[in-house]
Structure 1
Amino acid sequence: MYLPLITELTIILVAALVGGIISRKLKLPVVAGYLVIGVVVSAIFQERIRSNQTIPVLANIGVALLLFSAGLEFSLDRLSKTAKNATIGASVQVFLTALISFFVFSRFLNLGITDSLILSFGISLSSTSIVLKLLNDAKETRTLHGELMIGWLIAQDLLTIPMFILIPIFANGKGNLTITASTALLKIGVIGYLILLLGRKFIPFFFERLARLSSKELMMVGGFALSLIFGILTESYFQSFAIGAFLAGVVLSASYVRFEIGSDMRPLRDIFSAVFFVTIGFLISPSFIVSHAAQIVFLTVFVLILKFLVIFLIVSYLGFHTRISFLASLGLLEVGEFAFVLARSGISHGVISENTYQLIVSTTVISLLLTSYFMSSSKKFYKVVKEGIRNRSRVAYDAIFTRFDKSVVSFPGAETELKHHVVLVGFGRVGKMIAKVLELSKVNFVVIDYDFSVLDPLLETKQPFVYGDPVDEDILETANLSEARLLVVAIPDVYSSEYIIRKAKKISSSVKIIGRAENSQDAKVLNSLGVKDVIEPEFEASLSMSEIVLEELMGDAKKGRKVLSEIAKAHSYA
C-alpha cells in the first residue's frame, strides 16, 4: 500500500530533522545526516515511499533554489575572474576522467561499450548541489577555491548537454553525431545569450519596482517564480532545470534587491533542499550493495582517487597554489546528481543495464556521503598530507609542492632589505585594512598570501609580498621573519593560524604575534600557543556598536566605556 503524499513529505522532513540533529552532534555537515537518514527511511518503508512521483519534483525544486541562491551571490563580474580557468579545467578533467574510466570499465569490469561510456560520463561529473550546500554552510562561496569550484561545476553542468545528445543516438543506432551535436550546441549558445541579455535588462528593473511595494511575500514569490521560469526554459533546451535557476540568480545579482530576495527565500530553499538530500538516499538498493559490495568498493575508491589526482594536477598546472588545488580536488572528487539523470536516461532508452544503473546510483550516494566529510576536514587534510610528504620524501615534496608553489617576491632583493618590519599573513578584507594603516604610518611590512589575484595590485605599488602558503616554514623565512618586529596573522582559519604560529615560534622565539579568531573557542586555541593579543572582529564590532548605543542612551561616554571594559574583561576569561 502506497503512502499519501502529505504522509511521505512529513516522514521525509521529520527524518531530515533527526538526521540533521545527529550529524550536528557528531560535528558533521547536516548534509551527511540527510543522506544517511534517507537510506534508513528507504529501507524501512521500501517501495511505499518511493512510488509517488511528486517527491522527486519537490527535490528538484530544492536543487533549483540552491543554485538560484548561488547565482545571487556569484555575479557575472565575479564569474569572469575564474570562468576561463574553470571552463578549461572542467573540460579537460571531464575528458580525461571519462577516457581513463572507459578504458578501465570496459577492460576490467567487463562492461559493454555503451554501459562503460555512460558510466564514465556519469562519474566524470561532480555534485553542484552538495558542494554549493557545503560551501554555503562554511561561508566559503566567495573564497578563491569556492569561486573556482562553483565555476567548475557550472562548466561541468553545461558539458552534460552533449552527453544527453549522445544517448538517443546510441539508442537509435543512426544519425550524424557531428551535425547533431553542433546544431544543439549552437542552439544552446544563442538561447543562453538571449536569456542573459534580456534578463539583465528587464528583470532587475521589474524586481526593483516590486521592492517599492514593501512586501516580503511578493519578493519571495517573485524570486521563486523566476527561478522556476528560467528552469523550465533551460529544461526544454539544455536538458537541465538547475542551470536555469542559476542563471536566474545571476541575472538578479547586479541588482540591489538580491540581498532581500536571498534572505526571504532562504527558509524555503533550506526546506526543499532537505527534501532533495533525503530522497537521494531512497535511490540506494541495500540488497544490490550487499550482492555487489566488492564491485562498488572498487568503483568508489577508483573514482575518488582518479578524480582527485586529475583535478589536483589540472588546477596546479593552471597556476593555482597547491592549497587551492587540494581544497578544490577534495570538493570535486564526488560523483554528482547528474549521474542519476544520465543513468535514468540510459535506462529509458534501453542503452544500459539495470546492473549499471545501480552501480552508478550506489557509487554516487557513497561518494556524496564521503564528500561532506572530506570538505569539512579539507584544511586539516592539506596540512597533514603536506607535512607527511615533507617528512617522508623530499623528492616527492619538491616534485609536488616546491614545483607548483614557487615563492614570488614583488621586486628583486626585497627579502634582504626587510628588517624590523611587520609580517602580515593574509590579504583579505582585514589584512588590506591593516596594510593600509601600516602604509599610512610609514611602517615597513611584507604581505604573505597564497591567492595571487589579491596580491597582483601590489606589483604596481612595489609593496613587498611573498606568494605562497604561510604554513610553510620556508615561506615565513622568505619574508625574513627572523628579523621582524611583529607577525600579524589576519586569516580566519584557526587550523592554519595554529600551524603558522608554531612555525613562527620555531624561526623566531622573540617575535611578537597578533592573531585573529572568529570566536572565543578559536581565541583560546591561539592563547594556548602563547599569543596574548587575539582579535575577534565580530566581538570588537559589537563592542564598538554597543559603545555608541550606551553613549546615546546614557549621555555619558565614560560610564559606557566602563561597562564595555567589564564585558571585554569577562569575555577574555570566558
Structure 2
Amino acid sequence: IVVLKLLSDKRETQRLYGKIAIGMTLVEDIAAAVVILLLIARDEAGGFALGALVFLAFKGLLAGLIIYQFSQKVLILPSLQKTVANSQEFLFLSAISWGFGIAVLFEQIGFSQEVGALFAGICLASLPYAQEVSSRLRPLRDFFIVLFFITLGSQLHLDAVGEMLPVILMGLAVVVLLKPIVALIIVSLAGYTKQTSFKAAAMLGQAGEFSIIFIGLALSRNLISEQLLTAMTVIALVSIATSTYIITYLDKIYKRLEEQLQIFERDKARPDADRKKRYDLVLFGYQKGGHEFLRAFVQLKRPYVVVDYDPEMIEVMEHKKIHCIFGDAADPELLEEIGLENAKLIVSVMSDRNTNMLVLDWLNHHNPDAAFICMADTPKEATELYELGASYVMLPHFIGSEKVSSFVRRSRLSKTEFDAYRQKHIEHLKSHDNILDEPARPKNHKKLGHTIVENIAELTKVKSTKPKS
C-alpha cells in the first residue's frame, strides 16, 4: 500500500514501470496469503494435516467463487448501480461495508481478515464504478496507513534491538539491496529497457505489509519470539523509510547510475508504451445536448471519452459502444486520470457553475492551450466563465430563442413553413436514441454542437511539420 500511495502521489500509477511494480507487489501479496493459509492449517503437533489443508482450500475456493459471482452478477445490476452510484456518501459506505463484510466472512471460515479484504478489493476492481470508489477511499486509505505505522511503533521493543542487530542488518541487506537487484534482473530479462527495469525494481526495496501480518500470526501461535517480531518491525520501518526517499528521488538516482545500468539494456527491448491514453476530445455529460457534441466527435475521428456521473447514462453508452468513464468532473484526480492535460477540446454540457469553474481553473493551471466549451444558466454566469478564460459559453434559452426568432423572420409567417420546421425538429429528437447508427447528414446541415466543435477543432489543429515541396 505504501508503493501504491507513492505512485499515486507522483501521478505515475499508469506508467509502465508503475504497473510492473504494482503487479509484482500483488504477486508478493498472493504468495504471502498462500503462506498464511499454510500457517493457519498447521496443527498443534507442528505438521500440516493434508485433510485440514484441503478442506480449508475447498472452503476458500467455494466462498471466493460465490462472492465473486455475486459481485459480478448482483452488484452490476442497473437498479443497484443507480442506487449506489447516485450518492457519493452511499457509494463510499457501500465500498467500506463490502470490504469489512468480506473480511469478517473469510475470518469466520478459517482465513485471516487481511486475505478477505484483499479478495474484496479484487471483486470491486472489475465494477464499472471502481475508479470512483478508489478516489473516494483515498483519504481513508491514508488514514489507515498512519494507523499501520502507529501499530508498528507500538510493537517495537528498543531493548531487543541491540540483541537482534545482526538479524536486522542481514534482513535490511536482503530487502533493500538483494530483492531490488533480483527484480531488476528479472524485469530486464523480460525484455524491458534499463530505465523501466530499474524504476520498477526500485519500487520493491521494502518489506511488505503481509510480512508483518505473517510474523504477527506466527507470534500468536508461539512459533517465534517477540525479539524476532521487533527485528521484523525495525526492518519494515527502515526499509519503508529508505524506499520512500529512493522513490521520491528516483529520476535523479537513475541519471547518476545510467551508465552503470547499461549492462541491463536489451538489444531488442520492449517499447516503453507507458503513457496514459490520450484523448484529444473530452465531453462531460451525455444528456442536455451532449448527443450532438458526441456525434461531432465521432465524425472528427479523434480519440475521445465521455465522462458522466449518472450510472444509467453509463449503461446506455456502454450498450452503444461509446467510450465512457463513470466519474465526477469536480474530482481533480479524475481529471488527471483521463489525461485532461493533453486534451485539445473539452466540452461540458453541465450547467453547474461551480463544477465548470473548477474544471476551467484546472485547465488554466495544467492545460491553458486547450479550448473549453461549457454551459451556463444566466448571462451573469456566462460572463464569469468568459472572464476565467472559457472559449465559448452556451446559454440554452438564449440560443433557442435566437434560433427560433431567426426562423420566424425567414418563415414569412407561413403555417406550412412552421409545419415543415416542426416535423424536422421531431425527426431530430427521435434520432437521439440511435445517434451512432444514423447515416451522416449533408455537409450543409449544421447543428449547434457540430458548428462549435468543428470551428474550435480548426483553431486547435496542430500545424503539419512536413516540409513544403
Q: Which category describes the TM-score, using the shorter chain as reference length?
A: 0.5 to 0.7
Determine if contact 1:140/1:146 at 8 Å carries over to the other structure: yes
The aligned counterpart of 1:365 is: 237
1:429 aligned to 2:268?
A: no
Partners of 1:220 and 1:386 in 2: CA distance = 44
The aligned counterpart of 2:382 is: 553
Q: Which runs of 5+ in 1 are unaligned?
A: 1-128, 391-396, 410-423, 434-439, 441-491, 493-515, 517-535, 563-574
The aligned counterpart of 1:345 is: 217
Q: Give SS of 1:545's match.
A: strand
Distance 1:233 1:140, change over 3 A: farther
Q: Which residue of 92, 95, 108 maps to 1:220?
A: 92
CA shift for structure 1 position 147: 2.5
Question: What does residue range 528-539 of structure 1 map to in structure 2 within 5 Å?
Answer: 539=366
Partners of 1:407 and 1:325 in 2: CA distance = 11
Distance 1:427 1:336, change over 3 A: closer
Distance 1:225 1:325, change over 3 A: same
Determine if contact 1:171/1:350 at 8 Å carries over to the other structure: no
Partners of 2:115 and 2:66 in 1: CA distance = 15
Q: Which residue of 81, 105, 119 maps to 1:208?
A: 81
Partners of 1:243 and 1:314 in 2: CA distance = 27
Determine if contact 1:308/1:329 at 8 Å carries over to the other structure: yes
Read off the aligned partner of 2:61 and give its amino acid letter: G
The aligned counterpart of 2:30 is: 158
CA shift for structure 1 position 376: 1.6
Higher helix share: 1
Distance 1:204 1:383, change over 3 A: same
Post-superposition Cα deviations, 1:98-141, rounded to whole Å, max 9, x if no partner, equal: xxxxxxxxxxxxxxxxxxxxxxxxxxxxxxx2122222222222
Distance 1:537 1:386, change over 3 A: farther
Partners of 2:116 and 2:169 in 1: CA distance = 35
CA shift for structure 1 position 228: 0.6
The aligned counterpart of 1:87 is: none
Partners of 1:364 and 1:163 in 2: CA distance = 19
Partners of 1:369 and 1:431 in 2: CA distance = 37
Read off the aligned partner of 2:45 and give its amino acid letter: G
Post-superposition Cα deviations, 1:498-535, rounded to whole Å, max 9, x if no partner, equal: xxxxxxxxxxxxxxxxxx9xxxxxxxxxxxxxxxxxxx
Determine if contact 1:308/1:332 at 8 Å carries over to the other structure: yes
Post-superposition Cα deviations, 1:253-288, rounded to whole Å, max 9, x if no partner, equal: 444444544444443333333222333222222232
CA shift for structure 1 position 372: 1.2
Distance 1:131 1:408, change over 3 A: closer
Distance 1:188 1:327, change over 3 A: farther
Q: Give SS of 1:279's match.
A: helix
Q: Give SS of 2:371's match.
A: helix
Distance 1:380 1:229, change over 3 A: same
Partners of 1:385 and 1:561 in 2: CA distance = 46
Partners of 2:270 and 2:28 in 1: CA distance = 32
1:131 aligned to 2:30?
A: no
Read off the aligned partner of 2:21 and give its amino acid letter: M
1:382 aligned to 2:254?
A: yes
Q: How many corresponding residue pairs?
A: 312
The structure that has the greater radius of gyration is: 2
Distance 1:291 1:265, change over 3 A: same
CA shift for structure 1 position 383: 2.5
CA shift for structure 1 position 368: 1.5
Partners of 1:186 and 1:559 in 2: CA distance = 61
Question: What does residue range 402-481 of structure 1 map to in structure 2 within 5 Å?
Answer: 404-406=266-268, 428-430=276-278
Partners of 1:211 and 1:227 in 2: CA distance = 15
1:191 aligned to 2:74?
A: no
Please give the root-mean-square deviation of Cα atoms over the aligned residues, in Å: 4.2
Post-superposition Cα deviations, 1:212-265, rounded to whole Å, max 9, x if no partner, equal: 7x4433332222111111222333457343343344344344444445444444
Partners of 1:182 and 1:365 in 2: CA distance = 36
Q: Which residue of 15, 21, 27 maps to 1:143?
A: 15
Distance 1:377 1:557, change over 3 A: closer
| TM-score normalised according to structure 1 size | 0.46
CA shift for structure 1 position 358: 2.0
Partners of 1:148 and 1:377 in 2: CA distance = 19
| TM-score normalised according to structure 2 size | 0.55
1:540 aligned to 2:413?
A: no
Q: Which residue of 256, 264, 279 maps to 1:400?
A: 264
Distance 1:209 1:186, change over 3 A: same
Determine if contact 2:15/2:274 at 8 Å carries over to the other structure: no
Partners of 2:372 and 2:280 in 1: CA distance = 22
Determine if contact 2:191/2:268 at 8 Å carries over to the other structure: no
Higher relative contact order (CA 8 A, sep 6+): 1
Partners of 2:212 and 2:138 in 1: CA distance = 26
Determine if contact 2:42/2:48 at 8 Å carries over to the other structure: no
Post-superposition Cα deviations, 1:175-201, rounded to whole Å, max 9, x if no partner, equal: 456555455444433332322122111
Read off the aligned partner of 1:208 and give its amino acid letter: Q
Partners of 2:279 and 2:62 in 1: CA distance = 43
Query: Which segment drifts farther, 264-273 or 169-178?
Result: 169-178
Determine if contact 1:157/1:243 at 8 Å carries over to the other structure: no
CA shift for structure 1 position 202: 0.6
Read off the aligned partner of 1:160 and give its amino acid letter: A
CA shift for structure 1 position 381: 2.0
Read off the aligned partner of 2:83 and give its amino acid letter: L
Q: Which residue of 313, 316, 326 maps to 2:185?
A: 313
Q: Give SS of 1:332's match.
A: coil
CA shift for structure 1 position 426: 7.4
Post-superposition Cα deviations, 1:518-561, rounded to whole Å, max 9, x if no partner, equal: xxxxxxxxxxxxxxxxxx99533586338988998359999969
Distance 1:136 1:247, change over 3 A: farther
